[in-house]
Amino acid sequence: MSIAPALSIQAPLDGAISSTTWGHLPGGEPVRLFTLRNGLGMRVSISDLGATLVSWQAPDRGGRLGEILLNHASPAAYLESAGYLGGLIGRWANRIAGARFTLEGIDYTLDRNEGGNLLHGGASGFHRALWDADDQDGALIMRLTSPEGDAGFPGNIAVQVRYALDDDGTLSIDYEARSDAPTPINLTSHGYFNLSGKPGTDIKGHILSIDADAYLEVDAKLIPTRASSVAGTAFDFRQGAPIGVRLDWPHTQLAQAGGFDHCFMLRETALGDGPHVRAVARLYDPGSGRELTVLTDQRGLQFYSGQKLSETHAPRSGLCLEASAYPNQVNMADAEMVMLRPGAVYRQRTQYRVSVAGET
Q: Which residues form the catalytic set?
A: 190, 322
| Terminal CA-CA length for the chain | 29
Q: How many CB atoms lie within 10 A of CB 240?
A: 13
Q: How many CB atoms lie within 10 A of CB 30?
A: 13
| Helical (H) or strand (E) element with 245 | helix 243-247
Nearest to 240 by CA among 275, 267, 215, 207: 207
Distance CA 77, CA 84 (A): 11
Q: What is the sign of the dihedral through the CA atoms of 216, 219, 225 and 228?
A: negative
Residue type, 52: T
- The phi and psi torsions of 55 (rounded to 5 degrees) equal -150, 145
Q: Is the peptide bond before 91 cis (omega within 30 degrees of 0)?
A: yes
With 0-12 / 13-18 / 19 or more C-beta atoms within 10 angstroms meaning exposed / middle / buried, residue 183 is buried
| Helical (H) or strand (E) element with 243 | helix 243-247
Asked whether 91 and 185 are in contact (CB, 8 A), the reply is: yes
270 Cβ contact list (under 8 Å, min separation 6): none
Angle 291-297-300 from CA coordinates, rounded to 5°: 80
**Is residue 162 helix, strand or coil?**
strand
Distance CA 23, CA 33 (A): 9
192 Cβ contact list (under 8 Å, min separation 6): 69, 70, 85, 86, 306, 309, 313, 317, 318, 319, 320
